[in-house]
Each structure stands twice: as structure tokens, then as C-alpha cells.
Amino acid sequence: MNRYIGCEQQLWGVQELRLVGGKGDGMRLLHVRSGKGLEFVVSADRCADISRVTFKGDNMGYFAPCGYVSPKYYDGKGDGFLKSFTAGFFTTCGLTAVGTPCVDDGEELPLHGNVSNTPCENIGYWNEGGAIHIKALVRDAAIFSHQLLLEREYICPLNKNEIYLSDTITNIGERETPIEVLYHCNMGYPLLSEASEVNIPSSEVAPRNEHALDGIERCLETEEPQPGYEEKCYYHKLEGRPSVSVFNPKIQKGVVISYNADELPFFTEWKMMGVRDYVLGLEPGNCLPDGRDVMREQGKLEFLKCGETKKCNLKFEFVEERQCL
């Protein structure tokens, strides 16, 4: 117990908020402060994704031009996902489709699936063991179709600038179901600028297309915002328990993303250096964003049988020293 404060919210804690006005009207948000300089916002109506992160006053993630958009405006046709793609610090893509819109096994699939536009059935938070815990339940299910349940937990220690994410996805239906999940982590200004240093410790890197091939040797170099920039995607091969990072010496801050490559064997780098569309995506997943039909054709599509679960664990660490990376 701290004898100097009246309420823990003076230093740290969780506050429940609702947005008023615009397309985000009524959305439920949890504003979290660790007490060490880390603040982040969990969007309860958007899969409990993290929409905003600031570290000691500096923004870490990218916030798309659409801003906050309620799931009631979700367009599940083709690439309509982009109309409500807030991006934020990270967006969950899946749970049965990631990437390019396609038709797979007779099913029409939209860009990046629909789970990021699905509200939590319930969400709660508490303090335990010197850390803030947040737990959420998200159901991605339909009659005559897949039936998946996502249990998500965040742990934010009060003595460290870290966020631990633990996801458990369970097939609660009676049929075997394709499972695709990609953590679309989006780095933004001022963490991201032409001064930023990107580290992806891959043993191999491949361009997504011919356009990305031009400049592959500079895939980790960031640039100034450029009008008319066409996105470039690179597929990195990572093994074990890799850590990827972005550090900007101009603000002396960075983020390190660590995960288990056995759980998430694919990694996509999304390089978008456009004007206002200025973002670097660091995206571990169990698939690539080429469409579920392509993953099936290549024999890389993962399935969950009835009662089976898939676990995914990530750690986000916010640092002030380059040598920590």
C-alpha cells in the first residue's frame, strides 16, 4: 500500500470510457496506465484489440484516417474491411480468413476476416500479483459454419513497461475448421520515421511480388513519407523465440515484439511509406496474407478439429535504450 496516494488511479489503473460522436459513437474502451509511463487503450467492441499506445508521452502505433469505427459500420464484402481499419497498435486478423479476399472451398472470404469487427461478449479487469489483468471473450461463430471462441488475456506489470498477450482459440463446433490468425502490429509516428532502426532477425526474406522485389535489399530501411507510395510486403523466416523491434534514436524510444515461432510460423513485414498512410506492419501469424485459398493450395493451411485449441502468446516491451533491442 502506498501511503502517499488516496487512490491507485492517481498513478495506475484501468478506466472504462465510451466514445461520443462520429462513427465510433458508443464504443467501449479501457484506458490502461501502468504507472511507469506506459498507457494503452483496449477496444472492447473491436475484439479487445489495442487501438492506442503511448510510452512516456510518445505515440507508438499508427491510427488510420478512418479513426475509431464501430463494428456496426463493418463492410464484410471484398476489401470493405479498409473502411473501418483503424489499424491502431494492433488489429487481430482472422479467425478463419486472413489477407486477400478470395473464394475457398465454396466460401466467399473478405479481406482479413471479421473478428476484429466483433465486440467482446464480456470483458473484465483486475489487479493481481503486481500486475493489471484484462480478460475478454470473443465469439466468431455462425449456424451451419465455423464456431470458434477466442479467450484473450493481457497482463501489464506495474513495475515494467511491458504487455503480455495470451490468446486461446477453441473450436466449439462439431466440424473441423480452418484457422487463420495474424497479429497486424502497426508502428506509427513518432516511433516510426526515416530515423527509425528496424530489426527483424530473419534467416531468409522473400518479396510478396515483383514490386516488392525492387528494393528488397533495403526492406528494413524506413523513409520519409512519399506521395503515391505503393505498399511493399516481405515474408521473413524466423525460428525459435524471435524478437523484432523498432527503435527511433530521435525520441530514444522503441518497441520489442517477442513471440513463439512454433505457434506463429509466418512473419510479414508491411512497408507503407505514403503520405498520411505512413505505417510499418510487423505481423506474426500462422499464415501469410495471400488468401486462404493460396494457403490451402500450398498445403500450409492450419485446421482445428472439434474441441481442439490453438494458443498464441506475444510480449510487447517498450524501451528507452538501443542496446536493449
Which tens digit of pLDDT belongs to each residue from 200-215? 999 999 999 999 999 9
Contacts of 210 (CB under 8 A, 6+ apart): none
Q: Is 21 left (phi over 0), alpha (psi -120 to 50) or beta?
A: left
Q: What is the CATH number of the domain that holds 268?
A: 2.70.98.10
Whether 71 is covered by a domain: the verdict is: yes
Whether 29 is covered by a domain: the verdict is: yes
- pTM higher than 0.75, yes or no? yes
Three state DSSP letters for 183-214: EEEEECCCCCCCCCEEECCCCEEEECCHHHHC
- Listed residue (317, 219, 201) closest to 270, CA to CA: 219
Helix H or strand E segment including 43: strand 38-43
Whether 317 is covered by a domain: the verdict is: yes
Q: So what's the pLDDT on residue 322?
A: 77
Q: So what's the pLDDT on residue 325?
A: 43
CB 87 within 8 A of CB 64: yes
CB 60 within 8 A of CB 248: no
Whether 3 is covered by a domain: the verdict is: no
Residue 38 corresponds to which cell in the numbers above?
506506459
Sign of CA dihedral 148, 82, 91, 237: positive
Whether 320 is covered by a domain: the verdict is: yes
Cα–Cα–Cα angle for 139, 144, 145, rounded to 5 degrees: 50
Whether 233 is covered by a domain: the verdict is: yes
Q: Which domain holds residue 232?
A: 8-324
Whether 139 is covered by a domain: the verdict is: yes
Q: So what's the pLDDT on residue 2?
A: 84
Instruction: Report residues of the chain scoring pLDDT below 70.
Output: 323-325
Whether 257 is covered by a domain: the verdict is: yes
CB 306 within 8 A of CB 171: yes
Q: So what's the pLDDT on residue 100?
A: 97
How many domains does the chain fold into?
1
